[in-house]
């Protein structure tokens, strides 16, 4: 019988890794709450039509990467490949805009059939932010600053914000025609993927990773040359706002993002430490998506961060486990009962307590207590229980110093014990 394993591109998060993810999610919860964001959770399975209409039939995501299937009711279903379309669908379905603009964040697994590599799996996870119903360029600056500050709060440095304007739909359509003409004149010089995209999604060629195509594109017409006066003014205001927020950025006129719903602002936050998968956070403005899905006109902007890449960048800073406040050592049946009782009371006082169940000698349990890096050890033996007592030993004042202080408590003095531990 073959051993069962996870599918390729589907990765288990083991306990040592989960601690890092929990820390990031905890930072996100605090960070987004301070920014006045509310969390929204959507299903991982949606109607396939949502992504055909929302993302665009000619995108790589829809054309090559989605997990599609037919359920028992004959409905075409898809494991969500990204979060924005699902959030937009939920907003329209539940009429959330009747309560005014929505400032939302989400987290959860997404699915794309891609070649697995470091930081990119077929089941991957995102944290995202969506501002829906806000047209002001100040909302663009705020959304970017929330993402920038969050990454800094997680401990990431050496980040680069890349910025571009995709203009209005009218700007972009004029540019597309000029770009297609230019590309068709150089058709034989393009890589195979770019050749296929010319008449389907020419803007994506600007984001090509093929070196020869990238060199050719240095001479290509630039979208910035086709921006209307209004689009240019908006982009200038965004840059000024980011300068005022002391967020450094560079203009990347080839930054187009991979989904059809973007307009005006497009941005990515990148890191040199991820190789070819440099993007940590990516997003932009999508003013037409809500109306495309049957809702009212609702200018919107958002971003998403890949958790796997974020964890890789955070490394040991985020994966380092927290030390318990107390390690409970005990031997004997009566001591075990008292140990569990004290453990539960201390946890109720918001202390982190690890209870030893090994039943091994006190010396071995003390070694485990020291390895856990706990600040204190509570020691309970049968003799102590018979006297209605237990002892508490200070293991360290800091990471390197082992304490020698020992305190004897009566069983009734649990409040005094808690005060001592908290102090």
Known binding-site residues equal 82-84, 112, 126, 130, 257, 261-262
Helix (H) / strand (E) element for 362: namely helix 362-371
Q: Supply the DSSP string of 74-139, one letter for each residue.
A: S-EEEE-S-SHHHHHHHHHHHTGGGGS-EEEEEEEEEE-----BTTB-SEEEEEEEEEES---HHH
Contact 87, 293 (CB under 8 A): no
Task: Name the burial class of residue 274, with classes exposed (0-12), middle (13-18) and buried (19+) by CB atoms within 10 angstroms of its CB.
Answer: middle
Strands 326-330, 376-380: pairing kind: parallel
Q: Which two tokens stand for residue 110?
A: 């997404």
Binding-site entries for L-histidine: 82-84, 112, 126, 130, 257, 261-262
Residue 134 CA to residue 111 CA, distance in Å, equals: 29
Contact 99, 296 (CB under 8 A): no
Cα 110 vs. chain centroid, distance in angstroms? Answer: 11
Q: Which two tokens stand for residue 132?
A: 């829906």
Helix (H) / strand (E) element for 154: namely helix 137-154
Residue 411 CA to residue 398 CA, distance in Å, equals: 28
Residue 286 CA to residue 262 CA, distance in Å, equals: 4
Residue 145 CA to residue 47 CA, distance in Å, equals: 33
Classify residue 328 by its DSSP letter. E
Per-position b or e across 317-343, b if 16+ CB within 10 A of its CB: ebeeeeebbbbbbbbbeebbebbeebb
The CB-side HSE value for 191 (13 A sphere, CA atoms) comes to 16
Strands 279-285, 263-271: pairing kind: antiparallel
């Amino acid at each position: 019988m073959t051993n069962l394993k996870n599918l390729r591109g589907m990765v288990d998060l083991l306990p040592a890794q989960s601690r890092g993810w929990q820390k990031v999610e905890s930072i996100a919860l605090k960070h987004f709450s301070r920014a006045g964001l509310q969390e929204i959770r959507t299903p991982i399975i949606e109607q396939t039509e949502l992504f055909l209409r929302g993302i665009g039939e000619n995108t790589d995501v829809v054309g090559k990467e989605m997990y599609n299937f037919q359920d028992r009711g004959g409905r075409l279903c898809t494991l969500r490949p990204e979060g924005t379309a699902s959030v937009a669908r939920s907003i329209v379905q539940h009429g959330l805009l009747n309560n005014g603009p929505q400032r939302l964040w989400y987290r959860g697994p997404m699915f794309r059939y891609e070649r697995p590599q470091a930081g990119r799996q077929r089941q991957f996870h995102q944290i995202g932010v969506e501002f829906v119903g806000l047209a002001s360029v100040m909302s663009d600056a705020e959304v970017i600053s929330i993402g920038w500050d969050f990454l800094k709060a997680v401990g990431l440095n050496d980040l680069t914000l890349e910025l571009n304007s995709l203009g209005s739909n009218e700007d972009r359509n004029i540019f597309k025609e000029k770009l297609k003409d230019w590309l068709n004149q150089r058709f034989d010089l393009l890589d195979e993927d770019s050749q296929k995209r010319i008449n389907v999604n020419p803007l994506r060629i600007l984001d090509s990773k093929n070196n020869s195509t990238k060199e050719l594109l240095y001479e290509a017409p630039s979208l910035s040359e086709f921006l209307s006066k209004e689009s240019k003014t908006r982009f200038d205001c965004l840059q000024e706002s980011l300068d005022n927020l002391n967020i450094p950025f560079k203009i990347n006129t080839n930054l187009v993002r991979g989904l059809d719903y973007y307009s005006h602002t497009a941005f990515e936050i990148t890191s040199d430490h991820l190789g070819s998968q440099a993007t940590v956070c990516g997003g932009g403005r999508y003013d037409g998506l809500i109306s495309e899905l049957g809702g009212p006109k609702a200018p919107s902007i958002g971003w998403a961060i890949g958790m796997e890449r974020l964890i890789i960048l955070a490394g040991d800073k985020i994966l380092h486990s927290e030390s318990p406040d107390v390690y409970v050592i005990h031997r004997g049946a009566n001591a075990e009962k008292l140990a569990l009782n004290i453990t539960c009371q201390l946890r109720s006082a918001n202390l982190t307590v690890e209870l030893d169940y090994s039943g091994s000698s006190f010396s071995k349990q003390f070694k485990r207590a020291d390895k856990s890096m706990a600040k204190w050890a509570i020691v309970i033996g049968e003799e102590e229980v018979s006297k209605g007592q237990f002892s508490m030993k200070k293991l360290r004042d800091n990471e390197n110093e082992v304490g020698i202080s020992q305190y004897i408590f009566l069983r009734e003095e649990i409040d005094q014990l808690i005060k001592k531990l908290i102090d």
